[in-house]
Structure 1
Amino acid sequence: MKFRWTWCLPLVASMTLAACGTTSGGGVSKPGPNGPAGDAASLTAYHWKLQQAFSPAGAEDQSWFLSGNNAPIELEFADQRVMVKNLCNVISAGYSVEGQRLNVQRTVSTLRACNDSQLMMLEQKVARILPTSKQWNVQLGGTTQEQPRLTVQFIDGTRWQLSGKPTPQTQYGSAPERIFLEVAPERKACSHGVMKDYQCLQVREIRYGENGVKTYTGPWENFYSEIEGYKHEAGVSNVLRINRFKRQNVPADASSYAYVLDMVVSSAIADKRK
């Protein structure tokens, strides 16, 4: 069984709005960082996770958060596009900044169906408000322990506050190499230094031509590292698009590369009859 990512037509029309001066919008914010203000480059240097939201009237608004194990909304800015993650689908839109003004274009989305009606309702709500973004502000941490904060205000007065975590490119200080790995359904026991009873992922490299046709499939190998952002489910094979980063100052017993999941290209449940 395979799951494909497909882009649909724009969900909502874009709105380009001029900033008229930053306002707090009321509400009691969590303590913020004490560092300097960030520039536009700081938007792309971090993954931004929603920490607090405020209504147009200034009251704290929990409707942007779901109960249970659902992760908060996360924004990523890259290649002049903003992506919204941790919904049912991935929403994205082009964006630009002019000073403290944030212009977000109309959105597109993948077309995955979810059984969680609350998550789908939140997704639709995010798709409606995102193109009405008006102003942004980043406050950097004064120390390495302080997370930076992004504040986004929308035309109706809604306000988001998001905490930042460095992107892999910021963390590792270099651009990644993109590779494709197929991960087998089951792990296998392997020798991994002092780690007893270690279970390695089984992977093989896949290469594609510019036309998307597979041109190479490598042999199965033990994979002694882990893939950041990937949670393996026994019995399910996956083809993954991976960003591989060269690590600096690597310990003698560690991998010289860091592997970060970019996207799951396809998935299939193993045939247990074999």
Structure 2
Amino acid sequence: MKRFATFTLALTLAACTRSPQETPAPASAPPAEAPATPSAVPATASTTAALDAAMLGRYHWTLDRAVDARGQRIEALFVRADAPVQLDFRDDRIGVSNACNRIGGRYSFEGDVLTVGDLASTQMACSDPRLMALDQAVSQRLQGRQTAALTGGDTPVLTLTSSGGDVLTFRGEPTAETRFGGPGETVFLEIAPHSKPCTHPAAPNRQCLQVREVKFDEQGLRTGTPPEWQPLYQDIDGFKHVEGTRNVVRVKRFVSGNKPEGEQVAYVLDMVVESEVTKDSPRS
């Protein structure tokens, strides 16, 4: 039986927009014997930072540790060892990825209190029941008021403590905007159903997605003739390819000549516009 599924989301062609304290020497200690103290905190030192929307928005926050009030690891939050739960803050919204569905809602903070409103999710079904349960486990622990602590440094850490005593610790990883120093260019890429072997100094002996850039008019209709398929040597951050499925995705493309070869271009998924399971895809 031929399996074919296509869905089209509304197309938006415009780019989306969204020291530790020094311990004084005892008064009785002679100045000459007091330990030397740097005049400034080194860039690598961890520092307590105020909860700040701009700071939150500059990083992807990956779940690193989660324990309940008794100090027991919350196993339900670590179903995907290869892709831990991730939080992203943009404008006044929080997004959760690497669960079964994409989850999101509004958030606000006052002082060290972070408040997350009701969370909504997409309605995709996952075959693994533990993955399905992950959606609820994450939502239950994020919604409501929590005490938040933000520690800066090379790898910032966000710690959320619920009124019930659950403690969730997230490790910050710079977003593409942070790494490249500015917003990227919005482009649409069509991704062929099958990847192919490719060779590149930055990506030897690997399978590469086959892509071509496509364009749409103001009514969301394709325009022009697509170019030839080309191998994409980089991964698309946030996108997981399934062999036998053709996709059209909207991505942010970041380019910098100051990066090492292989890191000069980065792609970040914005949204999946079309998805089609081709007739020659493996049957489930």
Identify the TM-score tier after normalising by the shorter chain. Answer: 0.7 to 0.9
CA distance in 2, matches of 1:160, 1:193: 40
Q: What is the deviation of 1:266?
A: 2.9
- What TM-score results when the alignment is normalised by the length of structure 1? 0.75
1:39-83 deviation line (CA, Å, top 9, x unaligned)? 41221111111111121x341332343456453211111121111
Equivalent AA in structure 2 for residue 246 of structure 1:
V
Question: Where does residue 265 of structure 2 map in the other structure?
Answer: 257
Question: Where does residue 112 of structure 1 map in the other structure?
Answer: 124
Question: Where does residue 63 of structure 1 map in the other structure?
Answer: 75
Distance 1:125 1:68, change over 3 A: closer
> Relative to structure 2, which stretch is displaced further, 159-168 or 149-158?
149-158
1:139-177 deviation line (CA, Å, top 9, x unaligned)? 012xx4xx2110012232222111111111111111011
Question: Where does residue 103 of structure 2 map in the other structure?
Answer: 91
> Relative to structure 2, which stretch is displaced further, 129-138 or 106-115?
129-138
Equivalent residue in structure 1 for 2:5, among 2, 5, 24: 2
Q: Is the 8 A contact 1:5 1:110 kept in 2?
A: no
Q: Does 1:101 align with 2:113?
A: yes
1:109-166 deviation line (CA, Å, top 9, x unaligned)? 111111221222221122223222322111012xx4xx21100122322221111111
Question: Where does residue 237 of structure 1 map in the other structure?
Answer: 246
Q: Does 1:159 align with 2:167?
A: yes
Equivalent AA in structure 1 for residue 246 of structure 2:
S
Q: Is the 8 A contact 1:190 1:222 kept in 2?
A: no
Question: Where does residue 126 of structure 1 map in the other structure?
Answer: 138
CA distance in 1, matches of 2:49, 2:158: 9
- What TM-score results when the alignment is normalised by the length of structure 2? 0.73
Equivalent AA in structure 2 for residue 51 of structure 1:
D
Q: Does 1:247 align with 2:240?
A: no
Q: What is the deviation of 1:191?
A: 7.1
Q: Secondary structure at the match of 1:106?
A: coil
Distance 1:150 1:208, change over 3 A: same
Q: Is the 8 A contact 2:118 2:143 kept in 1?
A: yes
Equivalent residue in structure 1 for 2:59, among 21, 30, 46: 46
Segments of structure 1 that go 5 or more residues without pairing to the other structure are: 7-32
How many percent of aligned residue pairs carry the same amino acid? 36
CA distance in 1, matches of 2:202, 2:157: 40
Note the aligned Cα RMSD (angstroms): 3.0
Distance 1:2 1:246, change over 3 A: same
CA distance in 2, matches of 1:116, 1:58: 28
Aligned length: 241
1:161-209 deviation line (CA, Å, top 9, x unaligned)? 1111111111111101111100112345667469777765332222234
Q: Is the 8 A contact 1:189 1:200 kept in 2?
A: yes
Segments of structure 2 that go 5 or more residues without pairing to the other structure are: 10-43
Q: Is the 8 A contact 1:225 1:255 kept in 2?
A: no
Question: Where does residue 26 of structure 1 map in the other structure?
Answer: none
Q: What is the deviation of 1:233?
A: 3.8
1:20-53 deviation line (CA, Å, top 9, x unaligned)? xxxxxxxxxxxxx951123412211111111111
Q: Secondary structure at the match of 2:104?
A: strand
Equivalent AA in structure 1 for residue 270 of structure 2:
D
Question: Where does residue 267 of structure 1 map in the other structure?
Answer: 275
Q: Is the 8 A contact 2:211 2:232 kept in 1?
A: no
Distance 1:250 1:126, change over 3 A: closer
Distance 1:4 1:125, change over 3 A: farther
CA distance in 1, matches of 2:206, 2:129: 39
Question: Where does residue 222 of structure 1 map in the other structure?
Answer: 230
Question: Where does residue 157 of structure 2 map in the other structure?
Answer: 149
